[in-house]
Amino acid sequence: MSMNEEKDSLRKKIHIHVREIPLSLRNSYSKEVCATIVNHTKFINSDLLLAYYPLKSEIDTVEIINKAFSLHKRVALPVIKGVNVSFYEIEKGYTQNLIESSFHTLEPSTNKKPIAIEEFKEILLLVPGVAFSIDKERLGRGKRFYDNFLHTHHKDVFSIGLCYDIQLLETLPTDPWDECVDSVVTEKRFIE
């Protein structure tokens, strides 16, 4: 089995397991992950939050985004362009302006320039993933958007992978270009 086949097989297995979690439990788990994040030093000290608007299968980040707004932090969401991801600043009431992308994710308007990462001192990046390992490896959807971003900005941001505990595995199949995150948070564990 090739590396791509192994990763695709694992993605399918994980998607099945996540779909089997009842919605009420997913919501509860998301709240637990959010509580961990908003009490983390990296969130408290951040001046910029790079978040994502969740798919149904992902940890819901809306509470984290709302908490960031209440603390007057700047917040940005990703927009996929080509093989790269750029982040665009959002403001309160942002959900009304989100646009569905070709990947079926909700993205902010690109009427402004992407946020200038270099203008911030403490940046927290929330990273979605299909799976993570206890060694902080990440299995994404296979397009390498976050790998490319992390490769370029790893020293500029503190990255936390968010997932359900069922998505946290001992090991993952990886390629040389796969980037790790700095921490992983589930409803049960915090891997630093």
**Total Cβ atoms within 10 A of residue 169:** 16
Give the CATH number of the domain where residue 37 resides. Answer: 3.40.50.10420
The tally of domains found in the chain comes to 1
**Tokens describing residue 153:** 């900005």
Each of the 192 residues of the chain gets a pLDDT tens digit; together they read 788 888 888 899 999 999 999 999 999 999 999 999 999 999 999 999 999 999 989 999 999 999 999 999 999 999 988 778 899 999 998 888 888 877 778 878 878 889 999 999 999 999 999 999 999 999 988 677 898 899 988 889 999 999 999 999 999 988 888 899 999 999 999 999
**Nearest alpha-carbon partner for 79 in 115, 39, 41:** 115
At 94 the pLDDT is: 85
| Full residue range of the structural domain in which residue 132 is found | 3-191
At 1 the pLDDT is: 76
For residue 119, the cross-strand partners are none
At 43 the pLDDT is: 98
Read off the amino acid at residue 28.
S
At 14 the pLDDT is: 94
Reported pTM? 0.93
